[in-house]
Amino acid sequence: MVSKWKKMKLALSLNLCNYLPRTLEEEPPSLALNSAETLSDAALLSPLNWPMTPTPSSYRRRLSRSSSKSSKQTCSICLNKMKEGCGHAIFTAECSHMFHFHCIASNVKHGNQVCPVCRAKWKEIPIQKPSLDLPYYPFDRCNNDAAISLFRCLPPSQRAITQGHPEPATFDDDERLEEQIVFDGETEVLKKENRDYVRMMDMKVYPEVSAVPQSKSCENFDVLVHLKAVTGDQISQYRRAPIDLVTVLDISGSMGGTKLALLKRAMGFVIQNLGSSDRLSVIAFSSTARRLFPLTRMSDAGRQLALQAVNSLVANGGTNIVDGLRKGAKVMEDRLERNSVASIILLSDGRDTYTTNHPDPSYKDALAQCIGGLLSVAVQELRVEIEGVSPNVRLSSIKAGSYSSLVTGDGHSGLVDLGDLYADEERDFLVSINIPVEEDGHTPLLKLRCLYINPLTKEITTLESHVLQIRRPEYVAEEKVVPIEVVRQRNRFLAAEAMAQARTLAEHGDLEAAVKAIENFRLVLAETVAAKSCDRFCVALDSELKEMQGRMRSSHMYEASGRAYILSGLSSHSWQRATARGNSRDSSSFVQAYQTPSMAEMLRRSQAMFLVSPSHHRLIQPLLSFASQPKPR
């Protein structure tokens, strides 16, 4: 009996998908499939019909017949409805599948003479003559034959990243930003009348202890600085900052089959969840890189263009990641207009150290979590300035993880650059200071000032703290307990150091010593006040460290997932930002430690879109269709 995976691979080569088995051992479905369960390759990115698992080739003929009904209602190329008498010519092929005439004519213009739905070879093909009365579309994109056909239309031997039109020398053809007349009015209100109400972040400062005896001096006295961006609800009352997004997609030969299908689904999810003010450009690379389309607003027409472009991608050639990233950066550098937030995302199966290198549906969830953050930026270019108040108070160091920090030579001041914060996101860092002997009843320590750009008003905003001071009695009756917030951050920094040490040992082949290094820190962690009080942060951190130990038990496990898991953990703790680490075996692990509500919501949408009905073994459609779903603000 042919194995299920061989059937899956064979079906993927035909681009036919309709069934999601819950287990690898599950038998294939019966041939009595209804049209709602059959999907075409051309409709791969339709949000209601994204496939999860391919159908064996023996079902091909039955799929062609059963999908004909739905194909008569929707054009499988542009995914729009087909209605007679609405100014659109309809083409019916020999195999009975129907398409908009201009869509299928564009599809066959470059020599593709097979049905996009059933792959039947046609004897009679549609040909569209040039028209002098074509409607005008901005940038000549919506009816651009090269943009619509892209790579599907090219012969297999020529399926490198090429289009009918050469790329411009300068990528200054980005679509103009959406006019924001209403928003500008709101912005004026924010600037003049309600400045305090829309403050984008809060700041708190915690000293290691609240009192130190007058006769005692302290070295490396820790002060915790805690920053938190406003909630997503406060931002949505006005309008979130629009983004410019460039995705750099690997379509090399190694991305064929399941990987390419996962990439298309992930990109379809991104396209669906961008708003009309957001702009997207896609770079595809294999042996060379090519821009599929300029930065384009994700209006209805923009989404259609993006879906067609991504759906037409074919895996072939080598892996020139550098060329892809260089071209993505050029799109950002050359754009004429700029949205408040900009980001480049790379999706590739090249040699990776932060994830496992196997087809995994969780990649889509990782991208969804990333997009959830980008669509909720609350603070940009955050900088914290620290100033010693008392003449004899000196800053000795700043512990800020991977963020840039500086202490001046005289120790009187310092600064930390924390970059952008998403809504509800938090940042913590420790400032170590030296405190002298003091005869007065209190010692002023520090004063802090935050400077950041408000993405809603595009103004530089300043937030200042009160002067932090501690009491200086002659005697302290009992030893003060260090606040749990300070202990928590100390543990985080020490854990990151233990992870880095273990990773170095593992890379040198000494896995036993690597496991021991983590075990030693776990013993230290267990003796802290946070652990003894069952602090949630501490419990999750210990669980994560235990998971890392389990992934370093053998060289095979370390190569397969251990290295990726440790590096992802280091990144998460150093930047204090959520990372996706795939199939963690422990539900209490630290994977969601820095996840914001916006990230969690986008992750929920991603997972809900691909749920399986236990009784019917088919995809559950999202609650809202692509056409009826409200546009993200």
Pick the closest to residue 5 from 31, 26, 24 (CA basis). Answer: 24
Using one digit for the tens of pLDDT, what is the confidence trace for 355-373? 444 555 567 788 889 999 9
Using one digit for the tens of pLDDT, what is the confidence trace for 255-281? 988 889 999 999 999 999 999 999 999
**What integer is the mean pLDDT of 85-97?**
78
Between the alpha carbon of residue 172 and those of residues 164, 212, 326, 338, the distances in Å are: 19, 61, 16, 11
b/e string for 97-124 if b means 16 or more Cβ within 10 A? bbbbbbbbbbbbbbebeebbbbebeeee
Return the pLDDT at 112.
67
Last residue of a domain, one of 375, 403, 438: 375
**Domain shared by 228 and 249, yes or no:** no
**Domain shared by 348 and 444, yes or no:** no
The DSSP secondary structure of 464-532, one letter per residue, reads: EPPPEEEE--S--SSPPPPPHHHHHHHHHHHHHHHHHHHHHHHHTT-HHHHHHHHHHHHHHHHTSHHHH
Whether 300 shows a pLDDT value over 60: the answer reads yes
Last residue of a domain, one of 327, 349, 375: 375
Tokens of 35: 């049209």
Between 169 and 19, the more confident residue is 169
**Domain shared by 405 and 342, yes or no:** no
**Domain shared by 332 and 397, yes or no:** no
Counted domains in the chain = 4
Tokens of 146: 């090269």
**What integer is the mean pLDDT of 225-251?**
85
**Domain shared by 355 and 417, yes or no:** no
Between 351 and 241, the more confident residue is 241
**Domain shared by 368 and 391, yes or no:** no
**What integer is the mean pLDDT of 152-179?**
64
Return the pLDDT at 220.
94
**What integer is the mean pLDDT of 511-516?**
97
Q: 170 lies in a domain?
A: no
Q: 617 lies in a domain?
A: no
Return the pLDDT at 202.
93
The CB-side HSE value for 407 (13 A sphere, CA atoms) comes to 15
Q: 13 lies in a domain?
A: yes
Return the pLDDT at 72.
59
Please, where are the H alpha helices in 350-431?
362-374
Whether 16 shows a pLDDT value over 50: the answer reads no
**Domain shared by 522 and 466, yes or no:** no
Residue 247 near residue 278 (C-beta atoms within 8 A):
no
**What integer is the mean pLDDT of 609-628?**
37
Whether 574 shows a pLDDT value over 90: the answer reads yes
**Domain shared by 498 and 447, yes or no:** no
Return the pLDDT at 269.
93
Whether 86 shows a pLDDT value over 90: the answer reads no
Return the pLDDT at 384.
98
Strand partners, 244: 279, 342
pTM of the predicted model over 0.75: no
pLDDT band (50, 70, 90) for residue 542: very high
Last residue of a domain, one of 326, 355, 375: 375
pLDDT band (50, 70, 90) for residue 180: low
Whether 113 shows a pLDDT value over 80: the answer reads no
CA atoms of 501 and 513, how far apart (whole Å): 10
CA atoms of 149 and 110, how far apart (whole Å): 8
pLDDT band (50, 70, 90) for residue 187: very low
Q: 503 lies in a domain?
A: yes
Whether 143 shows a pLDDT value over 70: the answer reads no
SS3 label, residue 304: helix
The pLDDT mean for the chain works out to 77
Return the pLDDT at 377.
94
Between 449 and 33, the more confident residue is 449
Return the pLDDT at 478.
76
Return the pLDDT at 179.
64
Return the pLDDT at 82.
76
Tokens of 462: 């300043």
Amino acid (one-letter) located at 526: A
SS3 label, residue 398: strand
Return the pLDDT at 15.
42
Whether 130 shows a pLDDT value over 60: the answer reads no
DSSP state of 632: P
**Domain shared by 414 and 329, yes or no:** no
Q: 7 lies in a domain?
A: yes
**What integer is the mean pLDDT of 383-409?**
95
The CATH number that applies at residue 367 is 3.40.50.410
The CATH number that applies at residue 471 is 2.60.40.3670
Residue 375 near residue 350 (C-beta atoms within 8 A):
no
**Domain shared by 333 and 413, yes or no:** no
Q: 357 lies in a domain?
A: yes
Q: 137 lies in a domain?
A: no
CA atoms of 183 and 177, how far apart (whole Å): 13
How remote is the C-alpha of 241 from its chain's centroid? 16
**Domain shared by 370 and 283, yes or no:** yes
Q: What is the 3-state secondary structure (H, E, C) of 550-573?
A: HCCCCHHHHHHHHHHHHHHHHHHH
Between 329 and 114, the more confident residue is 329
DSSP state of 126: -
Between 317 and 236, the more confident residue is 317
**What integer is the mean pLDDT of 229-255?**
84
| Domain membership of residue 17 as a residue range | 1-129
Contacts 24+ apart (CB under 8 A), 464-467: 465/203, 465/205, 467/389
Q: 339 lies in a domain?
A: yes
Using one digit for the tens of pLDDT, what is the confidence trace for 311-342? 999 999 888 999 999 999 999 999 999 999 99
The CATH number that applies at residue 109 is 3.30.40.10
**Domain shared by 215 and 294, yes or no:** no
